[in-house]
Amino acid sequence: MNPSTVRLNFKLNLIRHLRDGKRMTLEELASITGINNRKDLKEQLGELFFLGATPHIADLIQVDYDSETDTFGLILPFRFDSSLRLSIREWLTLRKILEEITETSSDPQTNSTARKILQKIVSIVPVAGQEALSSYKADIQEAIRNEKSIDLEYQSRTGEKPTRRKVDPWFLFHSLEDYLLGYCHERNAPRNFRLDNILFLKVGSDPISQPAGRKKSEYIREFEEFRKNRENSSGIAEIWHTKEVFYNLNRKLGLERTDETKKSNHVVYHLSKAKIREENWFLETLLPFGKNVVLKSPTHLVKRILGEIELILR
């Protein structure tokens, strides 16, 4: 990892520990960040205050030192790392706005900035995915209006192979992502289908045979309860990670730090715990961090991630 990235991740880590009015001494910051050199800590705090070298706007950062308690504090207007979560719908809307700006703006600086942001969003939401999502939503709404069944190919997060499903569509609703709620004839029960996982969809000719029977709000409430319960009951993983990636890894997984560390090939790793929630998503989150993250447990996921790495290296 290049020195600029290391320094930036270190500043982001400081922000995480000092946000929301929490105060710490230099000794406490050193024990958490792994940086025992007081001079380095003071330099990083100084750069936060004077240079604003973070993803935040410089004048919104307030670094405060209390000489009576010998503690530092950081005040932000709101929690940037957790408040700016965008759903697939919001990403697509933002992408559309930026595309319009790049096509119509006559200001070179605005156009250049918009294109840079757009390139980053394209890496998250490819063109094919955007077009397919819009098409799926239009077809689902048409099927609901005309009370027609839907034939779709679905890749569940827990399944290895896509499956074909016949669904009587009931509702199209939004909860962080877009979902189709309907009666699945394959499972003979109501099911939720995340639009991101639909590989193929077409409106069939058969009329629906299983109407909703209840209000949309009741199904949505049950779905949200199910989603929360599933997250709360998920297993726990132990992860070795370097201090440089802690901030970004914590944003995705919500890490619980431990005091345990180890050194391997002159690199210091810190041990943290995280909820797995859903295994495929969990592994997909870890893989991009490369050698900066090492999964310790559970054993069956360690074997799976080693298999994924072998496939990548082939």
**Crossing angle for the helix pair 26-33 and 3-18, nearest 10 degrees?**
120
10 Å CB burial of residue 10 (0-12, 13-18, 19+) is buried
d(CA 309, CA 117): 30
- pLDDT score, position 238: 93
The answer to whether 156 and 197 have CB atoms below 8 angstroms apart is yes
Q: How far apart are CA 270 and CA 13, in angstroms?
A: 14
Q: How far apart, in Å, are the Cα atoms of 123 and each of 16, 102, 118?
A: 26, 17, 9
How far apart are alpha carbons 270 and 152 in whole angstroms? Answer: 44
pLDDT in tens, the chain (314 residues): 556 666 666 666 666 666 545 677 777 777 766 667 777 777 776 666 543 433 444 444 556 666 667 676 655 544 444 445 565 566 777 878 888 888 888 888 888 888 888 877 765 555 445 566 778 888 999 999 999 999 998 876 555 567 899 999 998 876 556 789 899 999 888 888 888 778 788 999 999 998 887 776 777 777 777 666 666 556 889 999 988 888 878 877 888 889 999 988 888 999 999 988 777 778 877 877 778 889 998 888 888 878 766 665 55
pLDDT of residue 75: 55
The pLDDT value recorded for residue 65 is 64
Which residues sit opposite 262 in a β-bridge? 269
Copy the structure tokens of residue 75.
């005040």
* Nearest CA among 203, 165, 209, 206 for reference residue 187: 165
Strand partners, 182: 169, 191
Q: Which helix (H) or strand (E) holds 239?
A: strand 236-241
Other beta carbons within 10 angstroms of residue 21's beta carbon come to: 10
Domains of the chain: 3-82 (1.10.10), 85-125 (no CATH), 128-232 (2.30.30.520), 236-313 (3.30.70)
Residue 41: which residues within 8 A CB-CB, separation 6 or more? 26, 29, 30, 33, 35
pLDDT on residue 54: 39
- Angstrom distance (rounded) from CA 28 to CA 39: 15
pLDDT at 128: 47
pLDDT, position 167:
95
Q: What is the pLDDT of residue 165?
A: 92
Q: Is 73 exposed, middle or buried (0-12, 13-18, 19+ CB in 10 A)?
A: middle
